[in-house]
Every structure is written in C-alpha cells, then in structure tokens.
Amino acid sequence: MNTQSTGDKTATAKVQAGVSDVECRVQIGGDWRLNERVPSWKSVFQNRMAMNVRVVSDDLGKWDTSLVLFLVHGRAWCAASKKQFHAEALPENLQALLRQVPVNSAAKPPVEASVKPWELASNIAEKWADHAQQSVSFLGECTLGFIGVAKNPRRFRWLDCLVEMQQCWASSLPMVSLVSFLVGVILAFQAAVELRQFGAAIYVADLVGLSIVRELGPMMAAFIVAGGTGARFAAQIGNMKVDDEIDALETVGISSVNFLALPRMLAVTVMMPILALYANVLGVLGGMFVSATMLNIPASAYWIETQNRVGFSDVSSGLFKCLFFGLAVGLAGCLRGIKCERSAAGVGTATSSAVVTGIMLIVLADALFAVIYNVLGI
C-alpha cells in the first residue's frame, strides 16, 4: 500500500493506491483545491503493474478542477499504458465532468516546427508592404482632403485646429525649453574644452549657433513633439476607434480623415517651426550661459559673434525643414490612430508605433534635406 499526501497543513488531498491480483485500486479522499499542493498521478503510479485501475472515493471532501485534472491525467496514463480505467464508483457529478473531456485531450497536437527563415522574411515583407500601402493610401486621402479644404475653406474645422495648436504648444513648451537649453549647454561645454586650447574660445558661439539653428533646435523640437503630440493624436484617435466613434462619423457621412486628421496635421505643421524657433533661442542662451560663466566671454560679445556667423539662410533653412517634420509627426500620429486595432492593446501599439514612425520620418526627412541643402549650397 502506497500513500501519498502532501506535507503542508492546509492541503488535505489524499491518494491511496493498493494493488491486488486483478486490479489497482485508487482511493481518493480529502479536500482537493487548485491553490493547494495536490498529489500528481505520475508520482502515485510509478511501477504499478495491474491491468485494471479502479478509482473510488473515500471520505472525499470539497474538490474542484484539480481533482478532475488528476483523473484526466490518470485516464490518459491508463490509455497510454493500455490499462482499463474505471471511474464508475466516483460521485456522479465528478463522472459527468470527466466525460466532458475527451479521452485523448491530454495528447497535445504536435507543436508546429519552428518558422522557416524565408517564411519569416516573407511575413515581415508582407507586413511592411501592408504598412506602406496603408501609408500611401492615407497620404492620398489627406492630399484629397487638403485640396477639398483649399476649395472650400469654410468646411474646415478651424476651431479644432486652433485647439490642437494651443495644446501642442502648451504640452511641448516645458520639455522643449529644458532640452534645448541643455543641448546648448552641452555643446558649449564640449566645444569650450577643445577651442580654449587654441585661444579660440569665442568660436564657441559660432559652433553652438550653427549647430543649434541648422540641426539640433529643429530636431529636438520635432522629437519632443513626436513623443508628446504625435502619441496623443494616436491615442485619442485610436480610442475613438475602439469606442466606435469613428464608425459613427463614417455613417453620418463625415470622413474621419477630414474631421480628425486634417485639423491635427495642420496644427502640428504650423506649430513645429514656432517651437523650433523657440528651441533655437533657448539653445543659443544655453551656450551663452556656459560662455559667460566658464569662458568669461561677455554675453554681448557672444551675441555679436552669433549674429555675425548665423545668417538668415541658416535660420530659415532649419525652420523650413520643420514644416515637414510637423507633417511627419501629424501623419504618423493620425495614421496610426485611424488604423488602430479595436482593443486596449491596439491603442498602446498605435501610440508607440506613432512615436517610432514619427521619429523615423523626421530623421529620414532631415537626411534628405541635408543632401538637398548641400546640393543647393545653402
């Protein structure tokens, strides 16, 4: 006679297995709870030889799925080792539950072999093609929408656009201030270390001014707007999609692109150069702060040097790029929102995807502009 019961106090599930000449008799008793340790069939039935297995209950208390699972495993074990499994002596409701589970339920379908590399590549390519097609068709819808607005500006939702502009400005301002000022400070520090050795500390102003105005100011502003406003667009629109609000727009005959995407895209496109200009000013101030405190260059001298080196074309070329950065952020945010899956996880994915796509488009656009400006000699 072999008895197995679990050691801890709360678990009282018991199994006793006794072997006679003709059958192995299994007595189950006690309380069976999923959240307690219960005996496992395999540990009880090692090396049992009898051809018949008969399960009976003896002082069986409260039980739940853990007992059913124990019996299912037992039955599967019996089937696999060609033994007869008898459960007729068990309570009727337990038998009924056992009958619901097919005998071969324990036999899991064979796990599919790992995905072939070329299948994986084709899946990824398909996904990208799908994304590209979505983006192009969305871009087309937006273009048609903007043409429609140009023809009939009264139909455009100007108030929504203004509200979005205000929100974009208000939510981005603190981060843009901090980040661009610090970028100016960092640049000036780095430049000062090198330039001071040659007695050329005043050129810190040139370096900081040009880097900030041509590249870093617009870029930092764009990244912050992509992370804040772009993500907000995707989350807002995605949530509307989950709640069927976009369907409700479509069935009223209102295009979701015209109603939701265009005002947001225009708002962020208009605000981006303004924020970038602000970032430029803060960045130059950061450089000025380091020069004044560390290099003993008076603020006025720093300012005059910056004015001499940084021209209108430098500022305007940086700000012109920003229009496209803004468009990229708006496009990514609204596209991901409108194509969002109808679930909470879908909104999360759409939001993070909007930020990633936005930043990627910004960097791509910046690279493109670097080449164009180089060719044009700006």
Partner 1 sequence: MNGIATAPVIEVKNLTCGYGETVVLQNVSFGVHAREVLFVIGGSGCGKSTLLRCLIGLLKPFHGDIAYFGKSFTAADTGQRRDILKTFGVLYQNNALWSSMTLAENISLPLEEHTSLSRADRDEIVALKLTEVGLAGSEDLYPSELSGGMQKRAALARALALDPGIVFFDEPSEGLDPIISREMDELILQVRENFGTTMVIVSHQLSSIFRLADRVIMLNHETKGIIAEGHPAELAATSIDPRVRDFLNPNNDLPKQTNENSAGGTKLIFK
DSSP string, 26-39: EEEEE---TTS---
Please identify which residue in 243, 293, 304, 311 interacts with partner 1, judged by CB under 8 A: 243
Q: Which ranges in the chain belong to alpha helices (H)?
A: 41-44, 65-80, 92-100, 117-151, 158-197, 204-210, 217-225, 231-242, 245-251, 256, 262-294, 299-309, 312-338, 344-376
User: Which CB sits closer to partner 1, 236 or 269?
Assistant: 236
**101 to 130: interface string for partner 1, x by CB under 8 A:** xx--x-------------------------
Least distance CB 360 / partner 1 (angstroms): 29
Q: b/e per residue, 281-293, with b = 16+ CB within 10 A?
A: bbbbbbbbbbbbe
- CB-based contacts of 328, cutoff 8 Å, min separation 6: 222, 226, 358, 361, 362, 365
Rg of the chain over all Cα atoms, to the nearest angstrom:
35
By CB under 8 A, residue 253 contacts partner 1: yes
By CB under 8 A, residue 100 contacts partner 1: yes
Contact assessment for residue 36 and residue 9, using Cβ atoms and an 8 Å cutoff:
no
Q: Judged by CB under 8 A, how many residues of this single chain contact partner 1?
A: 26
Least distance CB 147 / partner 1 (angstroms): 14
How far is the C-alpha of 377 from the C-alpha of 221, rounded, in Å? Answer: 25
Least distance CB 165 / partner 1 (angstroms): 16
Piece of 7-15, 63-71, 208-216, 302-310 that binds partner 1 (CB under 8 A) = 63-71
In the three-class reduction of DSSP (H, G, I as helix; E, B as strand; rest coil), residue 18 is classed as: strand
DSSP annotation of 81: T
Piece of 16-24, 178-186, 245-253, 306-314 that binds partner 1 (CB under 8 A) = 245-253
Please identify which residue in 34, 254, 344, 367 interacts with partner 1, judged by CB under 8 A: 254
How far is the C-alpha of 14 from the C-alpha of 4, rounded, in Å? Answer: 6
Please identify which residue in 22, 51, 89, 96 interacts with partner 1, judged by CB under 8 A: 96
Least distance CB 77 / partner 1 (angstroms): 16
Least distance CB 99 / partner 1 (angstroms): 5
Q: How far is CA 290 from CA 45, 178, 186, 187, in A?
A: 79, 15, 9, 9
User: Which CB sits closer to partner 1, 96 or 368?
Assistant: 96
Piece of 7-15, 223-231, 251-259, 316-324 that binds partner 1 (CB under 8 A) = 251-259
By CB under 8 A, residue 244 contacts partner 1: yes
Rule CB under 8 A: which residues touch partner 1? 65, 68-69, 72, 93, 95-97, 99-102, 105, 236, 240, 243-245, 247-254
